[in-house]
């Protein structure tokens, strides 16, 4: 079965074709980063309009480069949420209309389920069950995964998501947008001089909170000489604090569930120091760490095509409505 996947939840237009037996055929991504960077962050209305411009040409290109006719497509998967309403609607309306025209089923995919399953596109995919740490711009979730659609939420962020904390801290340091990768690059030039807090690690539980760390960083920055070296050192201390906090919580989640496989996914899982710190932790726990290739950590169409294909093969499909849900708790998928 060939499934066309469409991702438009935020600032990337992603399109992919996945085959149930042969795997990923092709994927294309158009990033709106340059457009939004002028404004220092994502402008929702501009995002929607750009998805409108880019989506259909990208679908055509994807079919052409895969040497597939539209009649070869057996189903269409689209991100229905969570995300920006306008942006989601572009993908949902396009997917639903194409599915109607091509007389194939459409399936609404949860964006975070897409991230969660992205490591399945790799050569050595994790077997179920596993613990997943999903760290993106909008979410920080620790999930116990028994199988596709069988997710138990173990912990989540009570305020800022990990990516949001990176983005806001980067903005504060004057690094602009996109903040995460810029802050991470700057951190490599610095050394942590001050120990930043590891929030919520001194009490039991698997929830996260990053907004206090953000404030601590701001106060440290304001009290510093604000030189380039100060900025780099602060970036390094911030990144180290996030990496270590995530590592402590993941270790706890592995111990609590007795599981030996940890999956990390979502944009922040592209962060080198976070990967290194989790790699060290799992080695001590005799566990295995799985993550997607770098381009599938951040938003992409491939993960949506994969997740949609699994659900379509399980006999699920959406009705004729254009389904978009900006807020959609992952626990509702069960
Ligand atoms: O998964 P994603 O592409 O979109 C959402 O679903 O939100 O994640 C984007 C987030 C942004 O906050 C971005 O700053 C962060 O991932 N990010 C990073 C890195 N690359 C992307 N954060 C830290 N280090 C990175 N290397
Ligand atoms: Zn995402």
Residues within 5 Å of ion ligand 2, judged at the Cβ atom: 136, 299
Determine if ligand 1 sits within 6 Å of the CB of residue 267: yes
Q: What integer is the mean pLDDT of 12-37?
A: 98
Q: What integer is the mean pLDDT of 12-36?
A: 98
Nearest CA to ligand 1 atom 14: 180
| Residue 226: pLDDT over 90 | yes
Q: How far is the CA of 182 from the centre of ligand 1 (A)?
A: 11
Q: pLDDT-based confidence at 220, cuts 50/70/90?
A: very high
Q: What integer is the mean pLDDT of 253-274?
A: 98
Pocket test for ligand 1, best of 163, 239, 297 (most atoms within 8 A of CB): 163
- Locate 288 and state its tokens: 């295995």
- Ligand 1 atom at minimum distance from 161 CA: 12
Return the H-helix or E-strand segment holding 256.
helix 228-257
Selected residue with higher pLDDT from 176 and 28: 28
Nearest CA to ligand 1 atom 13: 180
Q: How far is the CA of 267 from the centre of ligand 1 (A)?
A: 3
Give 40-69 pLDDT, tens digit per residue. Answer: 999 999 999 999 999 999 999 999 999 999
pLDDT score, position 57: 98
Determine if ligand 1 sits within 6 Å of the CB of residue 138: yes
Measured N-to-C along each axis, helices 44-65 and 85-102 cross at an angle, to the nearest 10 degrees, of: 30
Looking only at the bridges linking them, the beta strands covering 12-19 and 23-31 are: antiparallel
pLDDT score, position 334: 81
CA–CA distance, 256 with 150 (Å, rounded to integer): 18
In the chain, pLDDT over 70 holds for what percent of residues? 100
Name the residue with tokens 């270790």. Answer: 251
Between CA 131 and CA 10, with CA 110 as vertex, the angle to 5 degrees is: 110
Determine if ligand 1 sits within 6 Å of the CB of residue 266: yes
pLDDT score, position 144: 98
CA–CA distance, 277 with 120 (Å, rounded to integer): 22
pLDDT score, position 327: 97
- Locate 37 and state its tokens: 């960077």
CA–CA distance, 216 with 165 (Å, rounded to integer): 12
Q: What average pLDDT is seen over the chain?
A: 97
Between CA 172 and CA 179, with CA 174 as vertex, the angle to 5 degrees is: 80
- Locate 3 and state its tokens: 């499934």
DSSP string over 193-228: -SPPP-TT-SSSSS-B--HHHHHHHHHHHHHS---H
- Radius of gyration for the alpha carbons in the chain, expressed in angstroms and rounded: 20
Give 154-197 pLDDT, tens digit per residue. Answer: 999 999 999 999 999 999 999 999 899 999 999 999 999 999 99
Distance from the first to the final alpha carbon of the chain: 24
In the sheet that holds 288-290, the strands lie side by side as: 150-156, 140-147, 130-135, 261-265, 288-290
How far from 260 is each of 156, 285, 329, CA to CA, in Å? 20, 8, 26
CA–CA distance, 296 with 203 (Å, rounded to integer): 33
pLDDT score, position 276: 98
Give 54-108 pLDDT, tens digit per residue. Answer: 999 999 999 999 999 999 999 999 999 999 999 999 999 999 999 999 999 999 9
Measured N-to-C along each axis, helices 228-257 and 272-284 cross at an angle, to the nearest 10 degrees, of: 30
Q: How far is the CA of 302 from the centre of ligand 2 (A)?
A: 12
What b/e sequence results for 237-255 when a residue is b if at least 16 CB atoms lie within 10 Å of its CB, and e otherwise?
Answer: bbbbbbbbbbbbbbbbbbe
Residue 261: half-sphere exposure toward Cβ, Cα within 13 Å = 14
Determine if ligand 1 sits within 6 Å of the CB of residue 178: yes
Query: What secondary structure letter does DSSP report for 333?
Result: G
């Amino acid at each position: 079965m060939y499934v066309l996947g469409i991702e438009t939840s935020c600032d990337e237009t992603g399109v992919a074709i996945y085959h149930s037996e042969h795997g990923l055929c092709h994927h294309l991504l158009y990033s709106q980063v340059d457009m939004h960077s002028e404004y220092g962050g994502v402008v929702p209305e501009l995002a929607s309009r750009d998805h409108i411009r880019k989506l259909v040409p990208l679908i055509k290109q994807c079919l052409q480069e895969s040497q597939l006719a539209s009649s070869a497509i057996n189903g269409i998967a689209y991100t229905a949420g969570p995300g920006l309403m306008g942006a989601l609607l572009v993908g949902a309306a396009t997917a639903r209309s194409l599915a109607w025209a091509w007389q194939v089923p459409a399936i609404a995919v949860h964006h975070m389920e897409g991230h969660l399953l992205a490591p399945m596109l790799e050569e050595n995919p994790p077997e179920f069950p596993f613990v997943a740490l999903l760290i993106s711009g909008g979410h920080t979730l620790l999930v116990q995964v028994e199988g596709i659609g069988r997710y138990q939420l173990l912990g989540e962020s009570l305020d800022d998501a990990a990516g949001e904390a990176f983005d806001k801290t980067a903005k504060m340091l004057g690094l602009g947008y996109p903040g995460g990768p810029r802050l991470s690059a700057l951190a490599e030039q610095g050394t942590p001089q001050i120990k930043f807090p590891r929030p919520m690690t001194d009490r039991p539980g698997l929830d996260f909170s990053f907004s206090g760390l953000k404030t601590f960083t701001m106060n440290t920055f304001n009290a510093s000489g604000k030189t380039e070296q100060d900025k780099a050192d602060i970036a390094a201390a911030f990144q180290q604090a996030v990496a270590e906090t995530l590592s402590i919580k993941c270790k706890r989640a592995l111990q609590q569930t007795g599981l030996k496989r940890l999956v990390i996914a979502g944009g922040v899982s592209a962060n080198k120091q976070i990967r290194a710190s989790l790699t060290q932790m799992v080695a001590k726990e005799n566990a295995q760490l799985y993550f997607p290739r770098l381009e599938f950590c951040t938003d992409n169409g491939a993960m949506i095509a994969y997740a949609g294909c699994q659900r379509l093969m399980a006999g699920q499909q959406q009705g004729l409505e254009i389904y978009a849900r900006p807020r959609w708790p992952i626990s509702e998928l069960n």
